[in-house]
Amino acid sequence: MPECLESGTLFQRIHDVVARIPAGYVATYGQIAHQLGLWNGARTVGWAMRRCPAGIPWHRVVNAQGMISARGSGEGEALQRALLEEEGVPCRGPIDLSRYRWRPDPSDGDR
């Protein structure tokens, strides 16, 4: 990962967007990147999710197919699935993005 991405405001901006995803909804890595004007920035969002401070709902971010992305040993996947299901998002297989995708209000300054 480029060192410049880790320090400062880019990860903070990503975390700020993720913090606004309400319980019961998900966003994709690419969706968050697009909201911030980061074209082809889905991977950067993934790096930011690996460095989330406490309180950021990292588990509400999924891949473009509505699937939980693999993380190391698989324990993170099980935790993410459990947290989403606790919030009412069924995730045995692809999440139905037409139903559970977060659609932010444009008046909130989102793109």
- pLDDT tens digits along 72-95: 666 789 999 999 999 999 998 999
Helix (H) or strand (E) holding 61: strand 61-62
Least confident range of 10-14, 31-35, 67-71, 89-93: 67-71
Its domain, for residue 22, covers: 3-103
Mean pLDDT for all residues in the chain: 88
CATH label of the domain that carries residue 44: 1.10.10.10
Give a yes or no: residue 108 inside a domain. Answer: no
pLDDT at residue number 1: 46
- Tens digits of residue pLDDT in 19-28: 999 999 999 9
User: Is 51 within the bounds of a domain?
Assistant: yes
- Residue 70 covered by a domain: yes
Residue 111 in domain: no
**Within-domain flag for 41:** yes
Q: How far apart are CA 107 and CA 78, in angstroms?
A: 35
Strand 61-62 relative to strand 27-28, pairing: parallel
The pTM (predicted TM-score) of the whole model is 0.86
Instruction: Give pLDDT, residue 55.
Output: 95
In a domain, 110, yes or no: no
The packing angle between helices 9-19 and 42-49, to 10°, is 80
Mean pLDDT across the stretch 29-48?
A: 94
**90 within domain boundaries:** yes
Q: Is residue 91, in this structure, part of any structural domain at all?
A: yes
State the total domains in the chain: 1
pLDDT of residue 106: 72
